[in-house]
Structure 1
Amino acid sequence: MSDAPTTEYDALLLVSFGGPEGPDDVMPFLENVTRGRNVPRERLESVAEHYYRFGGVSPINEQCRRLKAAIEADLAAHSIDLPVYWGNRNWTPYLADTVRQMAADGVRRAAAFVTSAYSGYSTHQQYVEDIARARAEVPEAPQIDKLPVYCRRSGFIDPFVDGVRDALARLPEDARLVFTAHSVPLAQPGRADYVAELQDVAATVAERAAPGRPWTLAYQSRSGPPSQPWLEPDICDHLEELAGQGVGAVAVVPIGFVSDHMEVKYDLDVEAADKAAALGLRFERVPTPSADPRFAALPRELITESVGAAPPRAGR
């Protein structure tokens, strides 16, 4: 499977992480996510409480439905008749089932747009491996090319710029910008590229939205054992540090994420927000691109660039 597609496509595959859609789904979903990692049961039960707080439903699947509809609308607006499929890594609709349906529909070559904008293992290579694994389960599976990393594209960056401006307008003049992304182990392959991209994107958003304003990059959602070094500082620890420096307000920007899924809704909107309140910090959380039309245009733009001037092939 190539990461640099050079031919026409007859389908687009939206690939996401997946999430539970009811209380009975929560533990099986978490077991899927952590399979083979020897995560203690008590840790799974602790994380499960995050989902139960929201009725056992992760926002991510509904957000994928909205993104899929927005992508379809963008394709239609540009007269591109390309069917859009959707498959998840860890919950229904499972990626292998979607690839099976694509094969049954006669799809021969598809472009894959994943809901992760950055390089690195968990944000890029793991998606490549999961797509390959799903194809291996399906006889005569279509060729599937993962579209390029898009963290520096305007369709990803522009919604954050607007969100930062809106958030800062509700805060005092001296509010600080704090960008966040999912922490990963320091030993994870591709970690250096991941951090470099995060720093570059954060700097771009900060300069465009609030030139000259101080900003920092923090991390969230760590899940490894305490003995394993992960990217730091943790967002809650960093808020405490800022409060100690006399900072009175923060706009938190989840630059590492494309949608307001559970790690945004709980780790930021609950844990970080509660921490800020306890510290006396004014707190605003900037939304992610989600189904913003500019973000939904990215698959079309990436496909068109990959196949040249000719539009993607729609007939099968």
Structure 2
Amino acid sequence: MAQIPGEPMNVLLMAYGTPYRQEEIEPYYTDIRRGRPPSPELLAELAERYHLIGRSPLSEITYAQAVRLEAALNATLPLYPQPFQSSPGPRVRGPARVYLGTKHWHPFIAEAVQAMAQDGVKQAVGIVAAPHFSSRSIAEYREKVEKALAELGHPFRFRLVEAYPDHPGYIQALAHRVLEQVWRLREPGRALFLFTAHSIPEKSAQDGVYQAQVRTTAERVAQKLGLAHWDTAWQSAGRTPEPWIGPDVNERLEEAAAQGYQEVVVTAVGFPSDHLEVFYDLDYEAQNTAARLGLRLLRTRSLNADPDYIEVLRDLVVREWNAFELPKAETAGQHG
């Protein structure tokens, strides 16, 4: 393990972020729109969505992920890589620290990077609670970290887990949750299984990497469970004039009804955590579409901060940390 002597494993866990209170919705939406305030109509629409779902639990879930990831790392990493030279004192610090930063609300990624620098971090691994890479998702998280590091004079080295669409533990966790819904189906062999992720603008998806990764995830789960009928669909397209990738999940439900399906299971593979775009887009809007079409729609429960997903994050972080090379000065010291 490329461990700087005396340096704990430092992790930056990142997620999208969500507002806590009604008055925070407008500045949150403005940040999503890159500093452009939303129109009164758009603001009212978003506020209504929050009102309909009650409240997004994303912040609480992400915090739980951070706490449990740190606990999992500290339970499995060697506490002391070298023999004691002196007493560790009355309070023992664990070998891992997990910091939390979000893309569009507090604690912002820049705030987390600043806290890490103040703590004297020398190297860190970042991971986003999103399994698939695109220029509108993981790439933007990297940009925010790199900008924050540059503004602080690059106080520590940084590596990022970029994607994990086919991680065996991730696929197993999804398959387990899909299987829970299979048990509820009246005719599993005649049902359609839809795997969804966040739509992005077509111009940002021209290389096809994002779509291919989402389909890889869906294919691995389908193969593992022997699903006869499955497909991918997209949700949560932005309110912009430009075209976004599709088909939208509601359009795919229309097609499913026309194809004669009576039961559909939807799994939001692009969203590990419950939040607005799971509760509103799937539990409210898609359910309404399904009811109008006479379809029975079941949704797979999210990964959230469950132990099997935390183990996936732990494994990915440890692998990325092991990819660090020791700084030249440290390497020279080992041979001197």
TM-score by length of 1: 0.89
Query: 1:286: Cα distance to partner?
Result: 0.6
Amino acid at match of 1:18: G
2:214 maps to which residue?
Answer: 198
1:63 maps to which residue?
Answer: 61
Give distance in 2, aligned partners of 1:163 and 1:299.
Answer: 18
1:21 maps to which residue?
Answer: 20
**Alpha-carbon contact 1:10-1:107 (below 8 Å) kept:** no
**Alpha-carbon contact 2:13-2:126 (below 8 Å) kept:** yes
Query: 1:95: Cα distance to partner?
Result: 1.4
1:179 maps to which residue?
Answer: 195
Identify which of 152, 155, 158 aligns with 2:172.
Answer: 158
Give distance in 1, aligned partners of 2:62 and 2:166.
Answer: 21
Amino acid at match of 2:42: R
Give distance in 2, aligned partners of 1:139 and 1:109.
Answer: 14
Give distance in 1, aligned partners of 2:283 and 2:204.
Answer: 27
Give distance in 1, aligned partners of 2:164 and 2:179.
Answer: 22
* Bigger CA radius of gyration: 2
Assess, with a 3 A threshold, how the Cα gap between structure 1 residues 144 and 168 changes in structure 2: closer, same or farther. Answer: same
**Secondary structure class of the residue paired with 1:266:** helix
1:214 counterpart = 2:214: no
Query: 1:136: Cα distance to partner?
Result: 3.0
1:45 maps to which residue?
Answer: 44
**Alpha-carbon contact 2:127-2:317 (below 8 Å) kept:** no
**Alpha-carbon contact 1:15-1:87 (below 8 Å) kept:** yes
2:303 maps to which residue?
Answer: 289
**Secondary structure class of the residue paired with 1:194:** helix
**Secondary structure class of the residue paired with 1:121:** coil
1:169 maps to which residue?
Answer: 183
Alignment of 1:85-100 (within 5 A): 85-100=99-114
1:11 maps to which residue?
Answer: 10
**Secondary structure class of the residue paired with 1:187:** helix
Structure 2, unaligned runs of 5 or more: 79-94, 327-336
Task: Tell me which moved more, 81-90 or 71-80.
Answer: 71-80
**Alpha-carbon contact 2:267-2:300 (below 8 Å) kept:** yes
**Secondary structure class of the residue paired with 2:96:** coil
Amino acid at match of 2:192: R
Amino acid at match of 1:178: L
Query: 1:257: Cα distance to partner?
Result: 1.4
**Alpha-carbon contact 1:121-1:191 (below 8 Å) kept:** no
Amino acid at match of 2:176: D
**Alpha-carbon contact 2:30-2:37 (below 8 Å) kept:** no
Give distance in 1, aligned partners of 2:53 and 2:21.
Answer: 9
Amino acid at match of 1:306: E
Amino acid at match of 1:275: T
Give distance in 2, aligned partners of 1:300 and 1:176.
Answer: 33
Give distance in 2, aligned partners of 1:7 and 1:123.
Answer: 29
Tell me the number of residue pairs that the alignment of Structure 1 and Structure 2 aligns.
Answer: 304
**Secondary structure class of the residue paired with 1:297:** helix
Taking only the aligned residue pairs, the percentage that are identical comes to 34
1:235 maps to which residue?
Answer: 249
For 1:119-167, what per-residue CA distance to the aligned partner results, in whole angstroms no more than 9, with x for missing partners?
Answer: 2111221111011122234356322221231121123221110111111
**Alpha-carbon contact 1:96-1:138 (below 8 Å) kept:** no
Give distance in 2, aligned partners of 1:71 and 1:250.
Answer: 33
RMSD: 2.3
1:35 maps to which residue?
Answer: 34
**Alpha-carbon contact 2:133-2:162 (below 8 Å) kept:** no
Query: 1:118: Cα distance to partner?
Result: 0.9
Assess, with a 3 A threshold, how the Cα gap between structure 1 residues 256 and 190 changes in structure 2: closer, same or farther. Answer: farther
TM-score by length of 2: 0.84
1:135 maps to which residue?
Answer: 149
